[in-house]
Chains A and B, each alone.
Chain A
Amino acid sequence: MTFDDEITAALRRDLQAAHVGFDAARAEDMIRVATQSAPLGERRAYAAPLAAAAAVVVIGGGVATFAATRDSGTATGGGPVPPVPCPPTSTSAAPSESASAIPPVYPLPAAPPSTLYPTPVTSTASDLPLHLPSSTPVPSASGSATAAPPNGGIAMTLPPVSTTPAVPGSTVEPTVVLKPLPSTSPTDDPCTRTDAPTSSDMPSPVPTTPCEPGALDPGFCGSSVPAYSSSLTIGLTVRANAHSTGTATMPLASGDTFVVTELRFHNSDDTGRIRFVQGSTVVLDQALAGLGDHTFTLDAARQFPVSAGKPLTIGIDCANTSTACAPTVEITGHYEAPSTTTSSTPTPTHP
């Protein structure tokens, strides 16, 4: 027997000793993830650009209306919408016809598989650098497209979500869904509710918008605050033991600021951490609390503003040793008048 025989025999023995036995639960989990990650027959190589081009969110609700009515004097292309007076009977329990006709959520087209697994056989999106940017500005999303709004809503152009450098072995699937929060329940209708924000609620009142029947967004009418609240939903899929970031830009009109007051994590299946970064500043560093849905109401000191044009980077550490993390982050907040943004809203930094 030659020395090479010894080497190869030892190598063969060591390799076979390290054989991984069948783990039914793990295998089923991995197979399920693989089969659910993308439909059969998709051509991933072409999916990413299409996804970027398709990153258009059309909403007929509060966010768009607010953005369109701000700072402009025309009725189209960002100008103000006509006044939207309340229904004649302000205590009516029925939501407005227009409001009820508008779906509460206009989701993006189904995420193409490349956003789930941007890793072709020989090259990967996880070739990107490792860490959440700490000292360099987050790259802004670029490119956009628009689509005709349904139901007379206002087209909102949302820059395509861009992924920031992610650690090896991780994938990022950011999807952004904008949805107006105004409830159609009678008690939440700002045209009838008593807690609707008024000019006195906001540091810098804007002219009151009268309500009209059929108002698209009940959150707008009868209040000096055009948009009462809205939410941004960002979904990230991060592989086990990986860190990834996704960047989204809130579709705010120039000068607008959206103050994040509450975070909801859906399907948070890991005990990792999530960080929100603007530029080089970590505005919030929040631990994920494990399985299930969790809501974090931010106290005043932890609330943070998202300004128009400033990309918000969300980084997630997935500490799970076996499965991927796929939390959905829903950001809820309210708008602040431009003139009071900097003075009234602290920008806490959580290093």
Chain B
Amino acid sequence: MDDAAVRSDFEDFAREYWSTLMSIGVAVSGSRAEAEDLVQTALANAYVRWRRIRRDQALAYLRRSILNGNVSRWRRHRGSELVVAEPPERAVSRSGTQGVDDRQILLPLLRALPPRQRAVLVLRYLGDVPDDEIAETLEISVGTVRSQAFRGLAALRAATGVPTTDSREEVTS
């Protein structure tokens, strides 16, 4: 495949999955501008390796690039973020699960999670990515995926005031 064909293939792929990638970026970073940076970097990295990236793995490659980029970003920023014991605004749990019915409550809470937990939850609940594929994407074990998901959901439950209950999530590692 000559350069023009490779480039065309890459462009077609990028157009097709641009929204998906941006949505992941926004979900994990919390801002569109940050998401654009993450996606831009991921696309640039993918392009130079496009000949060696199998098409059926390209989306996973880009997902991984975005998520790893966000982890790096988080590491850089965490020292400058003000961590408080109590978040300034908490979701009010009026009764049982009513608190989590309010739209957009969970996204700010999601972004307060450590990036790996956030990545697992985003992939699982935004992209409906199976755990084994999440594990491959994040280069962790399936057990770790489940434990990260469990902890992330537990943190969300705690933040929303939903009492902990028996969970379908199983910590296997």
Identify the A interface with B (CB < 8 A): 2-4, 6-8, 10-23, 26-28, 30-31, 33-35, 37-44, 113, 116-117, 119-124, 126-127, 130, 168-169, 239-242, 321-322, 324
Q: Is the CB of A11 within 8 A of B106?
A: yes
In the complex with contacts A6-B100, A12-B125, A35-B7, A21-B19 CB distance below 8 A: yes
Measured between beta carbons, the chain B residues less than 8 angstroms from A35 are 7, 10-11, 47
Once the chains are docked, how many angstroms separate the CA of A52 from the CA of B159?
A: 50
- The minimal Cβ–Cβ distance linking B41 to chain A, given in whole angstroms, is 5
Measured between beta carbons, the chain B residues less than 8 angstroms from A14 are 103-107, 110
Once the chains are docked, how many angstroms separate the CA of A103 from the CA of B157?
A: 68
Q: Is the CB of A7 within 8 A of B156?
A: yes
Contact among A2, A22, A121, A130 with B165 in the assembled complex (CB-CB below 8 Å): A2
Q: Is the CB of B168 within 8 A of A2?
A: yes
- The minimal Cβ–Cβ distance linking B19 to chain A, given in whole angstroms, is 5
Once the chains are docked, how many angstroms separate the CA of A113 from the CA of B169?
A: 43
Once the chains are docked, how many angstroms separate the CA of A242 from the CA of B73?
A: 13
In the complex with contacts A7-B157, A11-B110, A18-B27 CB distance below 8 A: yes
- The minimal Cβ–Cβ distance linking B123 to chain A, given in whole angstroms, is 10
Instruction: Give the one of A23, A26, A27, A39 with max B CB within 10 A.
Output: A27
Q: Is the CB of A20 within 8 A of B41?
A: no
Identify the B interface with A (CB < 8 A): 3, 6-7, 10-11, 14-15, 18-19, 22-23, 25-27, 32-37, 39-48, 50-51, 64-65, 68-69, 72-73, 75-77, 80, 96-97, 100-101, 103-107, 110, 121-122, 125-126, 153, 156-157, 160, 162-169
In the complex with contacts A27-B18, A31-B15, A2-B167 CB distance below 8 A: yes
Q: Is the CB of B76 within 8 A of A126?
A: yes
- The minimal Cβ–Cβ distance linking A44 to chain B, given in whole angstroms, is 6
Measured between beta carbons, the chain B residues less than 8 angstroms from A37 are 44, 47
Contact among B6, B33, B40, B48 with A113 in the assembled complex (CB-CB below 8 Å): B48
Once the chains are docked, how many angstroms separate the CA of A123 from the CA of B27?
A: 20
Q: Is the CB of B68 within 8 A of A121?
A: yes
Q: Is the CB of A119 within 8 A of B45?
A: yes
Contact among B76, B80, B168 with A127 in the assembled complex (CB-CB below 8 Å): B76
Contact among A31, A40, A124, A168 with B48 in the assembled complex (CB-CB below 8 Å): A40
Once the chains are docked, how many angstroms separate the CA of A22 from the CA of B15?
A: 8
Instruction: Give the one of B103, B106, B165 with max A CB within 10 A.
Output: B106
